Structure 1
Amino acid sequence: MADSSDVDTGLVEVIPSLYISSLKPASSVDILYQNRITHVLAVGLNMQSPFPNLCKYKIVSLEDSAEANLLECLPSAIEYISQAISKDGRVLVHCVAGISRSASIIVAYLMKAQKLEYEQALEILHQQHPRAEPNSGFEEQLRLFAELNYVVDLEETRYRRFLMTRMAQQRDKLGYIPQLVLGCDPLKDAPIAGVPSITGGVQPIPRTGIRILQLRCKKCRRILVSKDNIMEHNPGAGETSFAYNKRGQGLGPNAQAKSKCNLFFIEPMEWIHGLDDGSVEGKIQCPKCESKLGSYNWSGSQCSCGEWITPSFALQKSKVDEVTGPCP
């Protein structure tokens, strides 16, 4: 990754009225004035607004790290650029080096504005600014951004899966999770559908008349999760995945075919006790009758089919019932 000293000192116009640069030219009042910049989007840590009388500023706090959550920054950043350009403004997007963070924001804007895939948007940027290079984590998130139809919404299952993986990475790297995002308890009352709760849970938007798959505690019949909270996974290699524990025992040719998943893997839910106390692993109990339903492990665990799931929030199929009921 290049540092700021390797980047041209001028602004680069990517498309009409949209520019990219490193920190150095963005810190020059003469360069901003000469290019008639009206709006600045500064992306990084501890960014400043040096010329508030000349330009309008928006600061996006984002680390240039593959683990950083670029997706959560995109809606407001894209809206800022769109509004400025629609009012005949000239927008400069900059970070420190003008390579990864600012490039990622501009690629995301082009993707949404022109309904492009990641490679197409990056190619447009490369034509004017060949050194643009979103880091590997940002690239992955931008590809997901296209899959999400350019909308970042906690109601979207794929985005919540991304957040789950990110929380597990944070837990492994930092030893804690800065912000838990939990699936909402299906029995919890929420005044406004689709609004995150205090702990980050999201109440599903009601779908009147629709009946969906639910999992209930086998003992007390308490609803635990709905279909959207269940994580599907591809079956693993069966008993051969556990061969290192067999101490030479024969597995037989049909071992894989006989292996079945005996667990449901779910999202971390609001009703799971202990998720906010820093524990790596623990048991999952029914919030009503306190029967043990399964266990969780932020570092992951192996399903009976052999597939490794990270993070793992597993309910034993023998402890829950699959039912079809009205959408809560």
Structure 2
Amino acid sequence: MDKIDHLIFISPLSAIQEADKKLLEDAGIRRAVVAINGPLPELAPHIDTLHLDIHDDENEDILELLPRTLDWIDQGINSNSPTLLLCHAGVSRSATVATAHLMRKYSLSLEDALVRVRRCRPIADPNPNFKHQLKIFQLAGWSVSDSNPLVRRYRLLQKAKSIAGDGHGTRSDIDNKEGLLHLYQQKQQKKISRTTAVRCKQCRMKLAGYDDIVMYIPSSPFYVESLEWMNLVGGEVSGKLYCPNDKCKNKVGTYDWTGVKDSSLNEYVVPAIMLHQNKSEVYQIGAAVNNPLSLLRPGV
């Protein structure tokens, strides 16, 4: 059992199960975060337990669990109760929670927080999927909010994986393409302002606002998020998008949850929800601002 920070410890589950459970009581452990898939193992009766039913693999979503988990850990710290972080080996899942705790508590980057965890537990090594989510957590300001475009982009990709994995495609199709998508600012030949919106060329109804735009390159379609008017809830992997104006219904774009290869970027955009420039147009362009999506390269 290794001490990571004030009142925070980490251990493999096997070491705790093999040891005399009285040792936990003697060490003052009153709370435990158990990050394993399947049934919750039996610990000492005096231990208050938070169970994270997650696998240690490339498809698991741990980002959504972080706010509730970290708040629960903070409650223990505020009550001066030591908390033990557990997973099968004490290497990936519990190390991810420990790293996220240090990141939020001390406003650290993923890299700096992981260095601190490894000083206390050298074998700590979150899997690449968890590291990617921790990087999003960092760039989103150590929170998971719908108002943050990075978080929304992550959720959109998770939705794409879910739809493509439901008999229409394979997760590997998306995973392979995801690593090719570089959202660097220099890739965007023209920056956009917060007053930017996209509208239908035929009836001029607004189709998407600044926060809905994932990427804008003048020679490519407008890549946007999944919006309510698109009604993309049927699980179809690809299809056409029509203007929501009942008097117009002009075809304004297409979508493909498994992604398309953009000829301008020579890279895949996943998922690809596109408003085509011959059917839609930008309006209300103002002063250029940096798009925070440019800070993150999926696969980091």
Indicate if the aligned counterparts of 1:25 and 1:31 stay in contact, CA closer than 8 A: no
**1:72 shift after superposition:** 0.8
1:263 aligns with 2:246: no
User: What residue is the counterpart of 1:313 in the other structure?
Assistant: 273
Of 72-81 and 14-23, more deviation after overlay is shown by 14-23
Query: Structure 2 matches for 1:24-103, cutoff 5 A?
Result: 24-27=14-17, 29-48=21-40, 50-51=42-43, 53-103=45-95
1:15 aligns with 2:23: no
Extract unaligned runs of 5+ from structure 1. 1-10, 178-209, 236-259
Letter of the 1:323 partner, please give it: Y
Indicate if the aligned counterparts of 1:47 and 1:59 stay in contact, CA closer than 8 A: no
User: What residue is the counterpart of 1:154 in the other structure?
Assistant: 146
Query: Structure 2 matches for 1:64-213, cutoff 5 A?
Result: 64-175=56-167, 212-213=195-196
Letter of the 1:291 partner, please give it: N
Indicate if the aligned counterparts of 1:100 and 1:135 stay in contact, CA closer than 8 A: yes
1:230 aligns with 2:220: no
TM-score by length of 2: 0.78
Secondary structure of 1:317's counterpart equals coil
Which is bigger in relative contact order (C-alpha 8 A, separation at least 6)?
Answer: 2
User: What residue is the counterpart of 2:173 in the other structure?
Assistant: none
Output the CA distance in 1 between the equivalents of 2:220 and 2:114.
Answer: 44
TM-score by length of 1: 0.72
Indicate if the aligned counterparts of 2:223 and 2:275 stay in contact, CA closer than 8 A: yes
Q: 1:176 to 1:99 in 2, by over 3 A?
A: farther
Output the CA distance in 2 between the equivalents of 1:262 and 1:105.
Answer: 39
Indicate if the aligned counterparts of 1:261 and 1:304 stay in contact, CA closer than 8 A: no
Secondary structure of 2:96's counterpart equals helix
Letter of the 2:225 partner, please give it: E
Percent of paired sites with the same residue: 28
Q: 1:281 to 1:16 in 2, by over 3 A?
A: same
Deviations 1:114-172 (A, max 9, x none): 11111221121112211111001111111221111101111100111122223333334
Output the CA distance in 2 between the equivalents of 1:292 and 1:303.
Answer: 20
Indicate if the aligned counterparts of 1:294 and 1:314 stay in contact, CA closer than 8 A: yes
Output the CA distance in 2 between the equivalents of 1:19 and 1:262.
Answer: 50
Query: Structure 2 matches for 1:287-326, cutoff 5 A?
Result: 287-288=244-245, 289-307=248-266, 308-324=268-284
Secondary structure of 2:284's counterpart equals strand
Q: RMSD of aligned C-alpha atoms? A: 2.3
Rg comparison, structure with higher value: 1
Deviations 1:55-75 (A, max 9, x none): 111112222112211211111
Of 98-107 and 32-41, more deviation after overlay is shown by 32-41
Indicate if the aligned counterparts of 1:263 and 1:304 stay in contact, CA closer than 8 A: no
